[in-house]
Structures are given as C-alpha cells and as structure tokens.
Amino acid sequence: MGSHQIEEVDVLLVGAGFASFTLLNRLRKLGYSVRIFEKGAASGGIWYWNCYPGARVDTDTPIYQLFDKELWEDFTFHERYAGWKEIRRYFEHVEKKWHVRDYTSFNKNVDSAVFDEQRQQWLIECADSTEIYARWFLPCIGFASKRYTPPFPGLGNFRGDIYHTAVWPQHGVNLKGKRVAVVGTGASGVQVIQELGDITKEMTIYLRTPNMCLPMNQRPLDEKEEEEKKKNGWYEQQIEATRHTFAGFTYDFVQRNTFDDTPEEREKFYHELMVEKGGFNFWLATYKDMLFDLKANEEAYKFWRKQILKRLKDPEKQKLFAPEVPPHPWGTKRPSLEQRFYEVVDQPHVKVVDVNKAPIEEVTATGLKTSQGQVDVDVIVLATGFDSVTGSLAQLNIQGTKGGTIADHWKDGTKTAMGIAMPEFPNMFFLYGPQAPTAFSSGPSCTQFQAEWVEKAFKIIKEKNITRLEATQESEDDWCRRLKEEWDATLFPLAKSWYSGANIPGRKVEPLNWAGGMVEYVGTLNRSLENGLQGWKVE
Ligand code: N01
C-alpha cells in the first residue's frame, strides 16, 4: 500500500534569504535539525526574483550583509550600494561557507501548513506534494513575496511583452531601441527607468504619485581600503551602531527640532544630509520632528524640491515630479535612492502620462489607452509593487488550531504578537513580516535582531524541554494597541502607501509596520523572554 514515511525535522524555515540563513546557522549550533524550503531555483530571496535592470539595494556597505565576521573576512562588496548580481554572488559565498545547500531544498513552494495537536508538530505541504513534519515552523518570506498587478482591462490582449519587475526573467531581456511603457514610480520603477531610459527608443512613464527621491551618492569601493577597514574594526563598529538607532541603520535622527536652528543653519544641515552625504541621511538622520510635525516637514520638502528643480529643466516634468504642493508629507512614503533619475526623465524621448488626469482605460493589442489617447509600445514594464507586508503570509494556506487560516485571523484587521507570532498559531514565528519594524528598517538588521531573539527563545525551549509555545491573546491585543498609538503619533497616516496597505484597492488601510523604532522593538521582544516568558502560553 502507498503509506510513505514523511520527513521530520525540528525546524522548517521557509525562504532562502537573509532571515533563514542567519537562523540556519544559529539553530544548528544549538543542536536543532533544520531544513530550508525555497520556492526559487537559487537563494537570495527578494534578490532572486527581482533581477530587473538596475535592481540595487538602498542600504550601504557594510551593513547590507549578514552580521558575521566569518563571512565578511573573505568577501568584499565593490560598490557602496550593491547591485543584485553582486548580492547574489554574496549569497553563493554564504552558501559555500555555511554549507547551506546541504540543508536547503530549492523549487519547494510551500503552500499549506496545518498544526497537528496530537503530535505538537506542523505538517507542511508544498505545491509538488512534498510533505514534512516540523515542531517549529518559521516562515522567512519577507514583506514582498506577493506581487501586485493592477487589473487593467485588456492586459491579456497585448501582443508585445509584459514584464513585472518582481518576476523579471532570469535570463534577462534586451530593451535597447525598444518603445517601453513603465507603470509605477516606486523603488522598482525609479531603478528601471534610470537604467533603461537612455537606451530605449522611447519611454512612456505612467505616473500616479511622484517619488521624492534622494541622491544615492553611489561610489565604487576600493578593495584594499575595505580590507584595511575590516582589520581596524570599522566593520564591527558600523554593525554595532545599527543596534542603537531607530531603523537599524548606522545613523539616526538628531536630537534637535527643525526650528531650533536658524534658517541658515537649517539650509546648511539639509545640504550636508541630502547633497554631501546622500543616501537616506535626509530621511533618517534629520531633525527628530520631521515625521511628526507638519510645519517642520514642509521645510524639508521645500529644500528637497529646490534641489530637484535645479536638475529638471522641462517645466511640465518639474510640475509632475516636484509639484509645489506635495501629495503627502515628505518621507511618509518611502523615498528612493536615485542615480541620474531626474536627468534621465528630463530627456525628450522620455514622456510622462499623469494617470490622475488620464487613467489607464485599457491595454490594447499594441499599447496603452488613456483618455488622452493611445501610446503604442513594444514592451510594458509593470513596476506596480506588492500586496506588501501581509500578502506574503496571508496568501498561504496556513491553518491555526481553530481551523482558520492567517487570512481568516486577519479578516477584521492585521493582528500579531510583537510582529513575530500569533495566538492560534503555536510554534510558528515569522521574520521581517507584519507589525515588526520591517518597512521602517534595514532588512539585514531587522532579521538579525529577530533571529537573535529566536535563538534565545530556542535556548530556553531546549533547557525547559518546551514542546509548545503560543502567543497569548493579551499579548496580541497589547501589541496592536501599542502599534496603533505609535503610528497615529506620526505623519505616516497622511500618505496613501504600501506602509498601510493603501496601495491595494479595497484593502483595509491600517498600520502594518511598527513605527516605534528598532530599539524599543528589540527591548519588547527581549523583555517577553526575560520576564519568564510573559505573553506566551507554554507546554
Ligand atoms: O512598489 P511600490 P515597488 N496605476 O508599491 C504605482 C522595496 N524595494 O516595487 O504611488 C498607476 O513602492 C504606484 O503608484 P502610487 C522598497 O521597500 C526596494 O517600487 O500608489 N500606477 C507606485 O508608483 C519599496 O518601497 C528596492 O500612486 C500604479 C508603483 O506602482 C518596496 O520594495 C527596490 C497603479 C508601485 O510602487 C516596493 O517597491 C525595489 C495603477 N493602477 C523595491 N497601481 C531597493 O532597495 C500601482 N501603481 C532599491
């Protein structure tokens, strides 16, 4: 008869990116048997799927990597902000060093999981019918594994090629000399546009909300200099710094308010942040009231706009990309880091359609039709983002102890305990997901700190021989209350963004990320262990 032996492990990690790699090593060292199931054919997580032209990280070296000396000792990034190809090479390096492949199964698309009360184990099943029992189930699938495609009528009728940035063909696409439409100007859109704008015959950007981009100030890194920095402890210092800041970067808001400075001092400070330092400094190392006080925020916007207008010559494009009245307060929607973006879009062969005035009515066999007429194109690039933060988990058929799925658990709103677990879903922890600092943090920092907490929890689990750990209802209620209070105190609610699910038509708009800072987040997690597993039901 067809009874088959189902593999059993202590821990199943889903996804082969930063979170699972750091956990794999830690949990193996504690003596747990661990397996990783990854949907893609290679590791890298988001960097496997989002290999579109120009895809590049917005966090600078050395903090965009696993926080492990053993790994950086013999790997050096070649740019301040690494591109996707180099990040993939980095993942291959980690794989080799930590023998990750011995513990990882690729092309394993986990699509359901159910908790077996008798066995106190999860039974997890993949699309190809592979099954596995795991006492501990840890989805490490990030905030952007469910892409979003707007339901434009006629999308299937287009005779040219359509590519979504989040599932770019692995073999690449040659768009040189083509007529290309790009829908969306978030981080993905900005990068595609600045990379392809120069080489396409014609580019038409379908713009809904201007992205208030900041100069990346990219530069190559000198290998010898980096080696020197590694030797003199600079890498450790930078990584240590991430533990003490709001967003897990090396820099933080200054302890001054905007109007504490004179206009001249302010101008000088803004210039230093945006022009001289570049990167997210103008966002995350600025005055501490910028994301709380509208008047203070307006000052930042005025300075930003002045800089951008110097680089955009076309008056229509000035109005579209840097309007006098911003669509939302500065920095309440994620700014992108750009390299020549404004110079690229300023060129005559790059056209912009304002979809607020002329919405996309239909995709025809040859192009896109709006109320302003039709533009014929060879290729459509959809840079339309993700069902972010909650979509990754909610799309899976993960059943809790009362029979409902995660989507059922969240039907009246997203609810988690400390952004890492949920009642009714025992023995399950998720990393870099909803209600954690996720979108307000650097990915490797957030996953590192959550993984450190998981490691501490697993030490206790082993010591106390715990077979079941479940977040309490009180813990979830308390976290949701705190999360909303932190969010409501900021200006973030004034933007329509993926931070709150507002990018998905019909979705409930609600805070999806912890806006109270990384330090307080990690403190809360740690207190729950130190105070005798407060907030957890233990068996
Ligand atoms: O997605 P997005 P993304 N008609 O949601 C537009 C990370 N990331 O893939 O703003 C017309 O930001 C939409 O318009 P609007 C990073 O955290 C990082 O770009 O909603 N347009 C928007 O312009 C980032 O924030 C990196 O009005 C429509 C765009 O599509 C997150 O992932 C690189 C539309 C979607 O932008 C998401 O970025 C890439 C419609 N019907 C991603 N529907 C780096 O580190 C949507 N849009 C550099």
Give the pLDDT mean for 278-292.
98
| Pocket flag, ligand 1, residue 442 (CB < 6 Å) | no
pLDDT score recorded for residue 38: 98
Q: What is the pLDDT of residues 426-466, one digit of tens each?
A: 999 999 999 999 999 999 999 999 999 999 999 999 999 99
Report the atom number in ligand 1 closest to the C-alpha of 384: 30
pTM surpassing 0.80?
yes
Single out the residue of 36, 122, 74 nearest to residue 470, CA to CA: 122
Tell me what percent of the residues of the chain surpass a pLDDT of 70.
99
CA distances from 222 to 77, 228, 452 (A): 9, 10, 32
| Pocket flag, ligand 1, residue 83 (CB < 6 Å) | no
| Pocket flag, ligand 1, residue 334 (CB < 6 Å) | yes
Place of tokens 């390299």: 339
User: Is residue 304 within 8 Å of 330, Cβ to Cβ?
Assistant: yes
Predicted ipTM > 0.90: yes
Which phi and psi (to 5°) does residue 513 adopt?
A: -130, 150
Residue 113 has pLDDT above 70, yes or no: yes
Residue 267 has pLDDT above 90, yes or no: yes
What average pLDDT does the structure give for the chain? 97
Helix (H) or strand (E) holding 506: none
| Pocket flag, ligand 1, residue 187 (CB < 6 Å) | yes
| Pocket flag, ligand 1, residue 213 (CB < 6 Å) | no
Residue 259 has pLDDT above 60, yes or no: yes
**Pairing verdict, β 367-370 and 214-215:** unpaired
| Pocket flag, ligand 1, residue 54 (CB < 6 Å) | no
Task: Name which residue sits closest to atom 9 of ligand 1, judged by CA.
Answer: 385
Single out the residue of 400, 435, 397, 430 nearest to residue 416, CA to CA: 435
DSSP label of 47: H
Measured distance between the N- and C-terminal CA atoms of the chain, rounded to whole angstroms: 36
306 CA from centroid of ligand 1 (Å):
24
pLDDT score recorded for residue 100: 97
354 CA from centroid of ligand 1 (Å):
16
331 CA from centroid of ligand 1 (Å):
14
pLDDT score recorded for residue 1: 46
pLDDT score recorded for residue 4: 79
Other residues' Cβ atoms within 10 Å of the Cβ of residue 358 = 14
Residue 2 has pLDDT above 70, yes or no: no
96 CA from centroid of ligand 1 (Å):
34
Report the atom number in ligand 1 closest to the C-alpha of 55: 33
Encode 41-63: b = buried (16+ Cβ within 10 Å), e = exposed. Answer: ebbbbbbbbbbbbbbbbbbbbbb
**Would you give the distance in Å from CA 449 to the centre of its chain?**
16
- The DSSP bridge partners found for residue 350 are 203
Q: Where are the alpha helices (DSSP H) in 33-176?
A: 46-49, 69-72, 84-98
Q: What is the pLDDT of residues 343-355, one digit of tens each?
A: 999 999 999 999 9
Single out the residue of 473, 463, 441 nearest to residue 64, CA to CA: 441
Rounded to whole angstroms, the Cα distance separating 396 from 314 reads 46
pLDDT score recorded for residue 3: 59
Number of H helices, E strands in the chain: 17, 19
Helix (H) or strand (E) holding 269: helix 263-271
- 107 versus 5: which is more confidently predicted? 107
Give the pLDDT mean for 280-285.
98
Identity of the amino acid at 57: V
Give the pLDDT mean for 320-324.
98
Report the atom number in ligand 1 closest to the C-alpha of 58: 45
Rounded to whole angstroms, the Cα distance separating 165 from 383 reads 5
| Pocket flag, ligand 1, residue 515 (CB < 6 Å) | no
Tell me what percent of the residues of the chain surpass a pLDDT of 90.
99
| Pocket flag, ligand 1, residue 150 (CB < 6 Å) | yes
**Would you give the distance in Å from CA 270 to the centre of its chain?**
26
Residue 317 has pLDDT above 50, yes or no: yes
- The DSSP bridge partners found for residue 104 are 36
Helix (H) or strand (E) holding 101: none
504 CA from centroid of ligand 1 (Å):
11
Residue 248 has pLDDT above 90, yes or no: yes
User: Is residue 507 within 8 Å of 434, Cβ to Cβ?
Assistant: no
Identity of the amino acid at 279: G
